[in-house]
Structure 1
Amino acid sequence: MIETEAALLLRDFVNTLDVEVAADEIATPGRLADWLAGRGLVPAGTTAAAGDLARAVTLREGLRAAMLGHHGPAPAELPAGLAEALAALPLRVVLTGERPALAPLATGAGAGLARIAAAIVDSAADGSWPRLKVCQEGTCAWAFLDTSKNRSRTWCSMRVCGNRTKTRAYRARQKT
């Protein structure tokens, strides 16, 4: 199954920033805490601090950069921002149930962010990580899950972003 819980969480987290209209769902510590609680990553009523918000933004933009890299050959290293964010979110291995899992060492909003970091490992394990991509339309940068058979999808939506890109290319050809 391609659309796993981990992959969808990562996609949704990256999409907390709508680049096209500059709308940020986690623009404040309170909104970050609400977003994390809304996805069951932290208990309701958890608070977040400015440092949590800074870590969340670094994690989100690092994930966006990594997903943008999924359009080409696998990069040798994680994007710098993502490596930095992951280093600040300590996890531990727990042996419960059928397979080992990663659990956060932090509490509060940091625990929610660590659960997002753990979703990267889960996504890699289930094969959905390389299918998480960012739209290559310059004004969009929306994260999506490439469910195409040959993993060649470029845009979040052919109707919108694909059409914009192709229309611009057509107009540029007509000018010359």
Structure 2
Amino acid sequence: MAGTDDDPALLLTDFVNTLNIDSATDGLTTPDDLAGWLAGRGLAPGGARAGDADLRAAIALREGLREAMSAHHGPQTADLPAALEDALAALPLRVALTGERPVLVPLDPPGAPAGLARVAAAIMETAAAGTWPRLKVCQEGTCRWAFLDTSKNRSRAWCSMSTCGNRTKTRSYRERRRV
């Protein structure tokens, strides 16, 4: 997906959206899928290999991010979900001071773990840019697609009003009519 390399918020939504719940497709079913996804976004060199442990780490990171983004619909807390904390703790990262603020930097050597560490570092970049709390997942239970809430009051609940918003509102209307 073009542009995700430059925008950490889009990188994070792209990563979470490797699992499309609505269509029941997963872009990360094998280690080769993971290596290809990372290489395709410039997060790992082409030809880098990923193993089963890397795939497990990627899925844990993805689902931890989805959980954290789900929490952005409610009252904001500084705590990250335990699943995300665990996933981050397993990645090869270090803190570096560059300019006026600390950043997370992946450790060498380049490869799948460092590529996942670059995804994790995007969390810090979005927090510094103020977009972290705007990263959400669709509240439609059959969707759960990650998106960047660009609404003025940060109240967007669905990835798409025309699709998921309409599904939810129609379902709610039908339930009210049955009663």
Please tell me the TM-score bracket, short chain as reference: over 0.9
Q: Distance in 2 between matches of 1:9 and 1:61?
A: 15
8 A Cα contact 1:29 1:52, kept in partner: yes
Question: In the TM superposition, what whole-angstrom CA distance separates every residue of 1:47-67 from its partner, at most 9, and x where no partner exists?
Answer: 000000000000000000000
Q: Output aligned runs, 1:6-155, within 5 Å.
A: 6-95=8-97, 101-107=103-109, 108-155=111-158
Counterpart secondary structure, 2:152: coil
User: 1:166 maps to which residue?
Assistant: 169
Which amino acid letter does the alignment assign opposite residue 75 of structure 1? T
Q: Distance in 2 between matches of 1:44 and 1:147?
A: 33
Shift of 1:20: 1.3
Shift of 1:103: 1.6
Identity in percent? 67
What TM-score do the two structures reach when normalised by structure 2? 0.92
- Name stretches of at least 5 consecutive residues in structure 1 with no aligned partner: none
Question: In the TM superposition, what whole-angstrom CA distance separates every residue of 1:94-134 from its partner, at most 9, and x where no partner exists?
Answer: 45678654221253100000001100000000000000000
- Name stretches of at least 5 consecutive residues in structure 2 with no aligned partner: none
- Does the C-alpha gap of structure 1 residues 88 and 127 become closer, same or farther in structure 2, counting only changes over 3 Å? same
Q: Distance in 1 between matches of 2:134 and 2:140?
A: 17
8 A Cα contact 1:93 1:102, kept in partner: yes
Question: In the TM superposition, what whole-angstrom CA distance separates every residue of 1:74-101 from its partner, at most 9, and x where no partner exists?
Answer: 1352112101000001312345678654
Counterpart secondary structure, 1:147: coil
8 A Cα contact 1:106 1:114, kept in partner: no
What TM-score do the two structures reach when normalised by structure 1? 0.93
RMSD over equivalenced CA pairs, Å: 1.7
Q: Distance in 2 between matches of 1:101 and 1:135?
A: 29
Q: Distance in 1 between matches of 2:96 and 2:89?
A: 19
8 A Cα contact 1:33 1:47, kept in partner: yes
8 A Cα contact 2:92 2:113, kept in partner: no
Which amino acid letter does the alignment assign opposite residue 124 of structure 2? V
